[in-house]
């Protein structure tokens, strides 16, 4: 029976600096590299057949560290469909300063609502509409063929995919947070009926 592993990249430089990162190409901090190595330790005993990642360096770097830690040599597919959502005019801004400028409620609407985008950026719905079709076309067939897959991506691209996999509603997904560097495993039967889902540190 196949399984799917989801992993949010390790802490990035702008995560540490409390900035809106979006699809800006920002690398990992030293802690982020450590989180990726720890994820690799968790994944050593998992027979992963294929890996997918966004084209952003914090995700690709995380995956490189994991594969080095696990000693795995497997196909890696990179796609911008898995990129973090674009935060538009907010990218590069300090989150706390942005809340002071626009108000905490407005910033929460931009960050957490399903179909309201920040100025010049993408909503979670927009992100869903590129992530899920990619998953259905490129990843599901491999799972159906019995292959085990790993996706290393971003908070919002993974939240969008979790809406599809877990059946979260737009309201429910607004309360979901994904920690950096902690693998989440989905176990399926041969028809891709979801049997179990949990984080590997629990």
Q: What's the CATH number where 97 sits?
A: 3.40.50.1240
Question: Among residues 35, 61, 84, 154, which one is catalytic?
Answer: 84
DSSP designation for 4:
E
pTM: 0.94
pLDDT above 80 (res 47): yes
Q: What is the rounded average pLDDT for all residues in the chain?
A: 95
Q: How confident is the model at residue 179 (pLDDT cuts 50, 70, 90)?
A: confident
Q: How far is CA 108 from CA 102, 112, 127, in A?
A: 10, 6, 17
Active site residue 84: yes
pLDDT above 90 (res 120): yes
Q: How confident is the model at residue 168 (pLDDT cuts 50, 70, 90)?
A: very high
Instruction: Give the DSSP H or E segment for 126.
Output: helix 124-134
Instruction: Let me know if residue 173 belongs to a domain.
Output: yes
Active site residue 9: yes
Q: Which residues make beta-bridge pairs with 77?
A: 52
Q: Quick count: other Cβ atoms within 10 Å of Cβ 160?
A: 26
Q: Structurally, how many domains does the chain consist of?
A: 1
Q: 103 Cβ partners below 8 Å, 6+ apart? A: none
Instruction: Let me know if residue 153 belongs to a domain.
Output: yes
pLDDT above 70 (res 202): no
Rounded to 10°, the helix 124-134/155-166 angle is 70
Instruction: Let me know if residue 106 belongs to a domain.
Output: yes
Expressed as residue numbers, the domain containing 63 is 3-80+91-199
Instruction: Let me know if residue 85 belongs to a domain.
Output: no
Q: Which residues make beta-bridge pairs with 158?
A: none
Instruction: Report yes or no: 23 and 85 within 8 Å, Cβ to Cβ.
Output: yes
Question: Among residues 9, 35, 61, 122, which one is catalytic?
Answer: 9
Instruction: Let me know if residue 86 belongs to a domain.
Output: no
Q: Which residues make beta-bridge pairs with 187?
A: 3, 196
């Amino acid at each position: 029976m196949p399984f799917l592993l989801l992993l949010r990249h390790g802490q990035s430089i702008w995560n540490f600096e409390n900035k809106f990162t979006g699809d800006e190409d920002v690398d990992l901090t030293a802690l982020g590299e450590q989180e990726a190595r720890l994820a690799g330790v968790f994944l050593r005993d998992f027979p992963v057949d294929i890996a997918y990642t966004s084209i952003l360096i914090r995700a690709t770097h995380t995956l490189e560290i994991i594969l080095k830690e696990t000693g795995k040599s497997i196909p890696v597919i990179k796609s911008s469909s898995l990129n973090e959502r674009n935060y538009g005019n907010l990218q590069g801004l300090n989150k706390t300063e942005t809340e002071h400028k626009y108000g905490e409620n407005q910033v929460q609407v931009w960050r957490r609502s399903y179909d309201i985008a920040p100025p010049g950026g993408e909503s979670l719905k927009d992100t869903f509409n590129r992530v899920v079709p990619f998953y259905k076309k490129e990843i599901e067939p491999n799972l159906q063929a019995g292959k085990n897959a790993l996706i290393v991506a971003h908070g919002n691209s993974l939240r969008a995919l979790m809406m599809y996999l877990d059946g979260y509603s737009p309201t429910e997904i607004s309360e979901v947070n994904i920690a950096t560097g902690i693998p989440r495993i989905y176990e399926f039967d041969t028809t891709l009926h979801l049997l179990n889902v949990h984080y590997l540190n629990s």
